[in-house]
Amino acid sequence: MSVVEEVIRIREQSCTLEPGNVLPGLSQGAYISEEFFRTEQDKVFAKNWVFVGFVHEFVEPGTCAPIEVAGQPLLIVSNDDGEIGVFHNICRHRGLKLVTDRCNVQGSISCPYHAWSYSLDGELEAAPHFGGFRKQDVPGFSRADHGLKRVRHVEWNDWIFVNLSGDAEEFEEYSRSFAEQIKILDVKLLKPIGKIDLGEVKCNWKFLMENFIEPYHVPIVHDETASGQPLKDHYTIVAGRCLGSAIDLEAEKETTAKSSALDMSARYLTLFPNFVLGIYLPDQAGVHLNIPVSADRTRQFRVLYSVGEQHYTDSDKENLCNLWYSVHKEDHEIAELLQEGRRSPVMNDGGVMSPHWEDSANQFQNLVLQAMKD
Ligand code: FES
Ligand SMILES: [Fe+2]
């Protein structure tokens, strides 16, 4: 039996369907097995709408950023008009990976091997000497057929999503339940005010997603950084592909800019599989980019946004970045210990989850397993 089949079998065996009953966790293979990770890349990340980057980082024509989705090298490119395209990051001659670091390519993308060059819209503009010295033409070879291969993408607000397989349902439909939940936020007023590079976290990407959407840990793990968010005011959100948690406090503060701790009403929302948005009322939001690297490594960034006209000084921005860095590091420590724990056979059964606080995280796991079965 494969690891994937084993994880699904254990889950189904321990599933209690009575509402309000204890919920089963995911057994160890789902977090530590490279086989499970590779299948997940093919079935979850290649087939769904995956979050890959921020539109505001591509306003400058010629900006190119290499990314990876489901283990495949892709390239985000901003063309002469500042429009974004996503391509396979692969030269159509011998298949070299074209761009290795974020850069501005100044007008065209040139392959470092035999100097084939591509426009910012992906057309093959030149294949120098391909047919002989100073001769590009070869019978049976058409440059028009050898442009960069495009990948389906959408830009939604400041966020870029990619669907590698090309056959996921339209993004509007795919994200409908999420869009419903974020109506409290006027997304047109979002302005990026900072970016935190949180480095590579030594855990499976699912631990970071699950941790974000269960409020059970907040008063314990973030006892100081979230001192104004008591457990009793939290609740979970389970709405199709939108899973999360929320806290409603009676009076919202006028601004979150000078906070040294989280003490406002908030929404912690995810769009399956990897888009993460935090809304901190009334005037702040944050988006995480979680990039699975291997079964036990995840790369993470966070972009901070202001909402509306609130002015943030440089020192406000620095305070916020420091606050969020601390909050994330508190979660990372926990997620890394979860990863360590999954090496033990004690977790063969996946443990248990609270039907009250962890139903959102449990449903996230269901979506992963559902995709693995399809
Ligand atoms: S591999 Fe790119 S030009 Fe030859
Ligand atoms: Fe947390």
Q: What is the pLDDT of residue 310?
A: 80
Q: What is the pLDDT of residue 259?
A: 61
| 142-151, 212-221, 343-352, range with greatest mean pLDDT | 142-151
Q: Whose CA is nearest to atom 3 of ligand 1?
A: 114
Q: Is the pLDDT of residue 272 over 80?
A: yes
Overall average pLDDT of the 106-130 stretch: 97
Q: What is the pLDDT of residue 261?
A: 62
Q: What is the pLDDT of residue 283?
A: 87
For residues 280 and 154, the model is more confident at 154
CATH 3.10.200.10: does it fit domain 3-48+171-373?
Answer: no
Pick the CATH number of 55-163 from 1.20.1250.20, 3.40.50.11540, 2.102.10.10, 3.10.20.90: 2.102.10.10
Q: Is 197 exposed, middle or buried (0-12, 13-18, 19+ CB in 10 A)?
A: exposed
Residue 268 Cα to ligand 2 middle (Å): 10
In whole numbers, what is the pLDDT of the chain averaged over residues? 94
Q: Of 56, 45, 61, 4, nearest to 28 (Cα)?
A: 4
Distance between CA atoms of 93 and 118, rounded to whole angstroms? Answer: 12
Residue in this structure with the two tokens 């901003």, named with its chain if needed: 78
Q: Is the pLDDT of residue 308 over 90?
A: no
Residue 124 CB–ligand 1 contact under 6 Å: no
Q: What is the pLDDT of residue 178?
A: 98
Distance between CA atoms of 116 and 91, rounded to whole angstroms? Answer: 8
Distance between CA atoms of 158 and 64, rounded to whole angstroms? Answer: 17
Q: What is the pLDDT of residue 257?
A: 55
Residue 127 CB–ligand 1 contact under 6 Å: no
pLDDT band with cut points at 50, 70 and 90 for residue 231: confident
Q: Among 121-130, 133-142, 247-256, 303-312, which is the least confidently predicted range? A: 247-256
Distance between CA atoms of 108 and 271, rounded to whole angstroms? Answer: 34
Q: Which atom of ligand 1 is nearest to the CA of 114?
A: 3
In this structure, which residues have their CB less than 5 angstroms from ion ligand 2?
331
Q: What is the pLDDT of residue 258?
A: 56
Is it true that 3-48+171-373 and 55-163 share their CATH fold?
Answer: no
Domain ranges of the chain: 3-48+171-373, 55-163
- What is the DSSP secondary-structure string of 247-284? E--SS--S-STT-SS--S-EEEEEETTTEEEEEETTTE
Q: What is the pLDDT of residue 20?
A: 82
For a mutational test of ligand 1's pocket, the pick from 113, 130, 148, i.e. the residue with the most ligand atoms closer than 8 A to its C-beta, is 113
What's phi and psi for 187, nearest 5 deg? -60, -25
Q: What is the DSSP letter of 183?
A: G
Q: What is the DSSP letter of 169?
A: P
Q: Is the pLDDT of residue 276 over 80?
A: yes
Overall average pLDDT of the 83-94 stretch: 98
Q: What is the pLDDT of residue 326?
A: 92
Indicate the angle between helix axes 314-341 and 205-213, nearest 10 degrees: 120
Closest ligand relative to 262 C-alpha = 2
What's phi and psi for 211, nearest 5 deg? -60, -35
What are 176-187's pLDDT values in tens digits? 999 999 999 999
